[in-house]
Structure 1
Amino acid sequence: MSPKTDLLVLGATGFTGRLIIQYLSHHPQRDAFTFAIGARSPTKAKALLQELDLHRDSSIVFVQVDVTKKAEVENAVKSTRVVINTVGPYWRWGTPVVGACAKAGVHYVDLAGEVPFLRRIIYRYGYLASKTGSIIVPCCGYDAIPSDVCAYLSNKTLKNLPSPLDVGSSMTSHRLKGGVSGGTISSAITMLEVVPKKEVENSVTDYSTSPVLGRKLPRWRFFYKVPVPGAHPLIGGFFFMEPTNKALVQRSFGLLELQARTSKSKEAQLARYGPDFAYDEFLGMPNAFAAVSYTLVYMTGLMLFFSLRPVRWLVQKFLPKPGEGPSEEAMQKGFMSATNITQSTSEPPVHVKTVMKGRGDPGYLLTAIMISEAALSLIFPPDSDKNSPEAARAALPLLARESGGILTPMTAFGDVLIKRLEASGRFEFSSSVIGRDLKED
């Protein structure tokens, strides 16, 4: 049997898969890790290597794998340390891959934005993964790293005060410029036409993926207005990624809260957001009229999409299909910005402003970077070019170090991932207390 590769990219010949292969092949640490491309078709894999001018690189391994065939999936998973899975919709194709990784003790990251899938793998494989030490991390792209990072950094800022404070409400305003992913459209249609209705209903309830229930905020608001001490308020309307992002952030809260209740360590206590944590997010808009108008138009379109099959057919016909995406020029012109305002539970409350910015199309270019760096967080220790999965794991947050299981980007990678994203040159992060003189402490 040949030596294991460090990474295996499943769906490598798809649009996002190609971007990931391209990013990995030019990574500054490329000489220190190995990777394989996983695909059904050797012909397509060979064409991909030709297209990216990688056909002379003998260190890139090809693994033939059809995710619908259990034996092929299990054999492919055993050949690597970390699986990067881009094959969706995940409700259809992702569960066997997660199961194989959990069984073999192999780590796994994906781009799932499907809460029913997340719930399914938690219940089926969460315990097994924790016993084999497999770190399973869904939602490692624009779904839902920025949201998870914002809540995480805001809590960290509150905990770093002279007197650590718990989080009360946490609200994130998103702004973006980028293309619509064909995979996202396919996942939405799968939710409607394949996922059982009861599963969909359960997935949109608050804390549906969390082991602990927290505080709830009002849902489906037409208009958001978040006060910002010393500045103009953040205004916005409903964000189409809110259901997935919110569920993921709530799971981070729940995992950290449960950890704090079962561990007396200082690290666990500082990591917890607090029992009164409540999270929501929205799409940032310039004014109230724009916010309400956008939400009305979006909700109308959503109802038509849900209720009329011909509308879904038109969407599939004229919007990008899985495997398609924008041009390189268009991707370079994209951007994302997530601004979070978090309020502590103390009296008077302390407010924290956290911002994450990214240069490039968030759903394609930046997503490829985010999932790649998430995977590499399991290979390289912080600030090191030494390939050492054992040392890398030792630097991760407590949950990832001690057991594994179905985690979230921040409960699995924390500061390690944030530093890697900063080092890519595509992302910026900031987090600080606002509207308060810290000398009062």
Structure 2
Amino acid sequence: MRVREHDVVVYGATGFVGRLLAAYLAEHAPRGTRVALAGRSRARLEEVRRGLPAAARDWPVVVADAADEDALRALAESTTVVATTVGPYLRYGMPLARACAGAGTHYADLTGEILFVRKAIDECDAVARSSGARIVTACGYDSVPSDLAVHLLHERARHDAAGGLLDTTLHARAKGGVSGGTVDSSRAQLEAVATDRRAVKTLFDPYSLSPDRKAEPDLGKQRDPMSVFRDADTGDWVGPFVMASFNSRIVRRSNALREHAYGRRFRYRELSAYGDGFVARQRANVFTAGLGLAMKAMADPRTRPVFDRLAPSPGEGPSEKARRSGWFSMKVRTTTETGRRYLATVTAQGDPGYAATTVMLGEAALCLALDGDRLPPAAGVLTPATAMGDALVNRLRARDFTLRVEEIPGA
């Protein structure tokens, strides 16, 4: 890769999450890291820059509209990494992803959109493999904790000669707000489904993001659970996790990109966990019912206007106090082919969709820009685990994230 003008460009720096990311990099990027702010309005970019810590006052600004392919190409050619917060990615993300793939520029985003990732694979993977670009999707709460947790389980099982992973389940708990961007991404996928019936098959296929669908094992139905039940292993009441359908496909893609190193009988699912007892069960029922109603309201043209008025708008976000008070905890249990059992734990302080996600995307961008000799040898449309692996694990640990694996006693 030739010498570039910038190390990291924050694209979408005038948006809510873009501002958070710029502020994070101003505080935590190593001294001398060349960061630029990019978006479609020079005036707004300069306004954002004025509000950042002193370390960012001399950062350059780059004007590039999401629909201007020439400007995006020039942007990509100027930097080692682009970290983009501009979504919904299905509407606005492909021109930038294509530009980065063609320019050999690493790319990190926050998408939680199955259809966008599938489109990026189809249009960018071969080009990125040829240019050496790492096009890394899902670098926030979706899907870094899920992907790295299973990565760590695999590494531990391999170290212990415990065999491949079999049934693997993630239990998610969190305190945080609903992102307006996440809601808008769901709208974008619904719009795509309305005009392309093939998109329905992509959304419901558990291996829809795999590099070679025909090479995947037939393990029967792997549908995301949509009802409340008591987990026999933990005793917790559990129900559907809102991002399970996306995260699970990212994790399965990681397995496939590693030539099924996790195992040919690896089965994976994600659930929301509520704890034990009557109150936990009622909480699970209420949340699950509310989730179902929200999905139906968003999908039905008759009720969508009401839903849109009540849902958070893109660009809206919680206060600084609310962002600080949030947290998430993910516990992933697996059984291996030799019968040994392990538990991976990933936790962090801060609202998952904003504060914690900002750290994950910021460290992913720095990892891609600065840790080249410590990254796995890979290029193409990748996942966090296959693009960065232990390098990103170590960076997040240094930012007070918990990422650990332990063997479950008596297994």
- Shared fold, TM over 0.5: yes
The one-letter amino acid of 1:297's match is G
Q: Does the Cα contact within 8 Å between 1:9 and 1:35 map onto a contact in 2? A: yes
CA distance in 2, matches of 1:219, 1:76: 39
Structure 1 pair 225/152, CA: closer, same or farther in 2 (3 Å)?
Answer: farther
- Indicate how the Cα distance of structure 1 residues 379 and 56 shifts in structure 2: closer, same or farther if over 3 A, else same: closer
For the 8 Å contact 2:50–2:57, the answer to whether it is kept is: no
Alignment length, in residue pairs?
Answer: 399
Match of 2:409 in 1: 435
Cα offsets for 1:22-42 (capped at 9, x unmatched): 000011x43131110001111
2:26 and 2:324 mapped to 1: Cα distance?
A: 19
Give the equivalent residue in structure 1 for 2:385: 410
1:175 is aligned, of 173, 176, 185, to 173
Show the counterpart of 1:394.
373
Aligned partners of 1:332 and 1:359 also within 8 Å: yes
Equivalent-residue separation in structure 2 for 1:202 and 1:182 (angstroms): 24
- Show the counterpart of 1:422: 397
| Selected match of 1:240 from 237, 242, 248 | 242
Which AA in structure 2 matches 1:173? Answer: H
Q: For 1:245 and 1:78, how far apart are their aligned partners in 2? A: 31
CA deviations over 1:188-216 (Å, ceiling 9, x no partner)? 11111245332143222111101341435
Cα shift readout 1:217-240 (whole Å, capped 9, x = no counterpart): 343341354444xxx434310111
Offset of 1:298 from its aligned partner? 2.1
Contact 1:350–1:436 under 8 Å retained in 2: no
Distance change >3 Å, CA 393–CA 200, structure 1 → 2: farther
Task: Say if 2:22 is the partner of 1:21.
Answer: yes
> Secondary structure of the residue that 2:303 maps to in structure 1?
helix
Could you tell me how far apart the structure 2 residues matched to 1:356 and 1:314 are?
Answer: 36
Describe the SS at the equivalent of 2:183: helix
Q: Does the CA contact (< 8 Å) of 2:294 and 2:307 recur in 1?
A: no
Letter matched to residue 30 of structure 1:
P
Relative to structure 1, the CA distance from residue 57 to residue 219 in structure 2 (aligned partners, 3 Å threshold; closer, same or farther) is closer
Matched-pair contact (CA < 8 Å) for 1:179–1:363? yes
The equivalent position to 1:377 in structure 2, one of 364, 367, 374, is 367
**Residues 56 and 282 from structure 1, CA distance in 2 versus in 1: closer, same or farther, beyond 3 angstroms?**
closer
**Are 1:316 and 2:308 counterparts?**
yes
1:61 deviates by 1.0
- Secondary structure class of the residue paired with 2:47: helix
For 2:374 and 2:56, the matched residues in 1 are separated by: 35
Task: Provide TM-score, normalisation by structure 1.
Answer: 0.86
Structure 2 match to 1:333: 325
Q: Is the 8 A contact 1:173 1:234 kept in 2?
A: no
8 Å contact 2:224–2:270 — kept in the other structure? no
Offset at residue 56 of structure 1 (A): 7.2
Of 271, 285, 289, which aligns to 2:274? 285
Distance 1:326 1:87 in 2: 18
> Match for residue 299 of structure 1?
292
- Please name the residue that 1:32 is paired with: 32
Per the alignment, residue 216 of structure 2 pairs with: 213
Report the CA distance between 1:340 and its aligned residue: 0.6
| Structure 1 residue 430 displacement after superposition | 1.7
Q: Which amino acid aligns with 2:167?
A: S
> Given residue 38 of structure 1, which amino acid in structure 2 is its aligned partner?
A
Cα offset, 1:296, TM superposition? 3.2
Distance 1:353 1:20 in 2: 31
Say if 2:9 and 2:35, in contact at 8 Å, map to a contact too. yes
4+ long deviations beyond 4 Å: 53-56
Residues 431, 206 of structure 1: alpha-carbon distance in 2 compared, 3 angstrom cutoff: same
Secondary structure of the residue that 2:363 maps to in structure 1? Answer: helix
Aligned position for 2:6: 5
Q: Is the 8 A contact 2:363 2:395 kept in 1?
A: yes
* Partner Cα separation in structure 2 for residue 354 and residue 174 of structure 1: 12
**What is the aligned partner in structure 2 of residue 92 from structure 1?**
91
Contact 1:182–1:324 (CA<8 Å) still a contact in 2? yes
Q: What amino acid sits opposite 1:306 in the alignment? A: A
CA contact (8 A) 1:174 1:339 kept: yes
Tell me which residue corresponds to 1:256: 258
Q: Determine if the alignment matches structure 1 residue 366 to structure 2 residue 356.
A: yes
2:198 aligned with 1:198: yes
CA shift, 1:75, in A, is: 0.8
**Identity, % of aligned pairs?**
33
C-alpha distance in structure 1 between counterparts of 2:263 and 2:334, whole Å: 13
Q: CA RMSD in A?
A: 2.0
- Give the 3 Å change call, closer, same or farther, for CA 256–226 of structure 1 in structure 2: farther
Segments of structure 1 that go 5 or more residues without pairing to the other structure are 259-271, 381-391
Q: Deviation at 1:293?
A: 4.3
Q: Which moved more, 1:193-202 or 1:370-379?
A: 193-202
Matches for 1:48-197 after TM superposition, within 5 Å? 48-54=48-54, 57-58=57-58, 60-161=59-160, 163-195=161-193, 196-197=196-197
Unpaired stretches in structure 2, ≥5 consecutive residues: none
Per-residue CA shift, 1:28-84, capped at 9, x if unaligned?
x431311100011111111111222549722x1100000101111101111100010
Distance 1:332 1:20 in 2: 15
Q: CA deviation at 1:310?
A: 4.7
Compute the displacement of 1:395 (Å): 1.4
